[in-house]
Amino acid sequence: MDILRAIDNMHGPVFLLAYGAFVAAVIAIVALAQRLRDPTRGLPPPLVPSSPDPYEIAFLRGGKNEVTRLAIFELVGKGHLHVLAPGKEPKDWQVDRSSGSLGQSCDGTSIQRRVFGAVQKPTKAAEIFSGGVPGQLDEYLTPYDARLKEEQLLANADMVARGRRVYVGGLGLMAAPGLFKLATALAEHRGNIFFLVVMAVIAVSVYTGAASPPRTTARGRAYLRSLQLAYASTERSKESSLGTRESSPTRLPEPSISGSSSPGLAMAAAPVALLPAIFGFEVLEGTSFDSLKQMFSQGSRGGAGCGAGCGGGCGGCGGCGGCGG
């Protein structure tokens, strides 16, 4: 009761400062706890495969949103979609079909076909996510989800449940003093609660970003890091396979990635889609796909948002920030 009395009697600005420090401490402790209780910490990552699946990697890194982005990248690269840029603002840019159908050349299994099918007319990036396109890929992503959980690269249901309990517990602890102060202020008809409300909104947002149970395990993050190291030289020479900003999107041959950075080297047998799959759409900056990078870094702000799209909170998307890029 003493502590409640102390909170009640605390002068507004003093309370805000103290509460701010308390919130920061809770966020740091819970975020650290979420990492430390990961049972895969210290486990060596899987070996880098000879033929990595870009869609599996994209799913590991950023969930169904990242897979959707990757499919659009390949569809643009193969000439089935193209980017319309009616104005200067990337959030207004659209992808549209270049042809009525995919023909024979596209991957018949599906992810690309489903995404292509969802683009019936010029469509903004935000509309792709808010229109539920990523959700239409669930049936194709279930095998990836199962395998990645079996390999302990994604958190399984048990880990997620325990992580949520920690999250909820920490949220309650963090919110309690603020709610008490708010309640006493309202009970005493004090109206100076604006800053408290703003702080609460910011605190919950930051807490969710930092302390949500991670979707990717420590082993999964180590595996992604291995892939990034293994393909670092390819990333440095991205213009040789992805073209430069001044050119139209490079038509992607099949198969197509340069494993080596020296000019004039023949392409080794690995898909160019590996680059955005491993490094994210940021890798497209400065290449002939730069417009896609700009478009999707804006897209989510008007769309479903990180939490809904990534299925685990922005902090768990392994690079969600922002969900569109």
Partner 1 sequence: MYRATFGELPALGVGLGFRRPYLADIFQHRESIDFLEIIADHYLGPSRKTEEELGLLAQHFTLLPHGLNLSIGSAEGIDAGYLQKMARLVRKIDPPWWSEHLGFTRAGGMHIGQFSPLPYTRAAIEVVCRNMDRVKRVIDAPLMLENITYMVSLPMAEMTEGDFLAEVVERTGCGILLDVTNLHINAINHRFGPQDYLGRLPLERIVQLHFAGVEAQDGLLIDSHAQPTGPEIWDLLQTVLARAPVRGMILERDENLPPVEGLLDELRRARDMGREAGRWQ
- CB of 263: closest distance to partner 1 in angstroms? 10
Structure tokens belonging to residue 321: 């920030």
- Residue nearer to partner 1 on the CB measure, 81 or 242: 242
Helix (H) or strand (E) holding 221: helix 218-230
Helix (H) or strand (E) holding 295: helix 290-299
CA torsion angle for 71, 76, 79, 82 (degrees, to 10)?
A: 130
Single residue of 270, 283, 292, 323 touching partner 1 by CB under 8 A: 270
Q: Is residue 42 at the binding interface for partner 1, with CB under 8 A as the rule?
A: no
Candidates 44-52, 99-107, 110-118, 308-316; binding stretch for partner 1 (CB under 8 A) = 44-52
- CB of 105: closest distance to partner 1 in angstroms? 23
Helix (H) or strand (E) holding 204: helix 194-211
Residues 51-70 that bind partner 1 (CB under 8 A): 51
- Token pair 């895969």: residue: 40
Q: What is the phi/psi pair of residue 123, to 5°?
A: -130, 130
Non-local CB neighbours of 132 within 8 Å, separated by 6+ positions: none
- CB of 52: closest distance to partner 1 in angstroms? 9
Please answer whether residues 52 and 260 qualify as being in contact, where contact means their C-beta atoms are separated by less than 8 angstroms.
no
The three-state secondary structure class of 82 is: strand
Q: Is residue 229 at the binding interface for partner 1, with CB under 8 A as the rule?
A: yes
Contact characters 273-312, partner 1, x per CB under 8 A: ----------------------------------------
Contact characters 168-207, partner 1, x per CB under 8 A: ----------------------------------------
Please answer whether residues 309 and 125 qualify as being in contact, where contact means their C-beta atoms are separated by less than 8 angstroms.
no
Single residue of 13, 42, 44, 108 touching partner 1 by CB under 8 A: 44
Please answer whether residues 152 and 325 qualify as being in contact, where contact means their C-beta atoms are separated by less than 8 angstroms.
no
- Residue nearer to partner 1 on the CB measure, 48 or 201: 48
Non-local CB neighbours of 202 within 8 Å, separated by 6+ positions: none
Single residue of 48, 176, 183, 202 touching partner 1 by CB under 8 A: 48
How far apart are alpha carbons 95 and 120 in whole angstroms? 10
Contact characters 233-252, partner 1, x per CB under 8 A: xx------------------
How many residues belong to the site for partner 1 (CB under 8 A)? 25
Single residue of 15, 93, 144, 231 touching partner 1 by CB under 8 A: 231
Q: Is residue 86 at the binding interface for partner 1, with CB under 8 A as the rule?
A: no
- Could you tell me which of 30, 308, 256 has the C-alpha nearest to residue 162? 30
Candidates 12-20, 164-172, 198-206, 224-232; binding stretch for partner 1 (CB under 8 A) = 224-232
- Residue nearer to partner 1 on the CB measure, 137 or 274: 274
How many degrees, rounded to 5, is the angle at CA 147 between CA 110 and CA 274?
55
How far apart are alpha carbons 278 and 62 in whole angstroms? 10
Candidates 132-140, 212-220, 263-271, 289-297; binding stretch for partner 1 (CB under 8 A) = 263-271
How far apart are alpha carbons 258 and 64 in whole angstroms? 27
Please answer whether residues 241 and 250 qualify as being in contact, where contact means their C-beta atoms are separated by less than 8 angstroms.
yes
- Residue nearer to partner 1 on the CB measure, 193 or 267: 267
Single residue of 91, 226, 239, 321 touching partner 1 by CB under 8 A: 226
- Enumerate binding residues for partner 1 (CB under 8 A): 44-45, 47-51, 225-226, 229-234, 257, 259-262, 265-266, 268-270
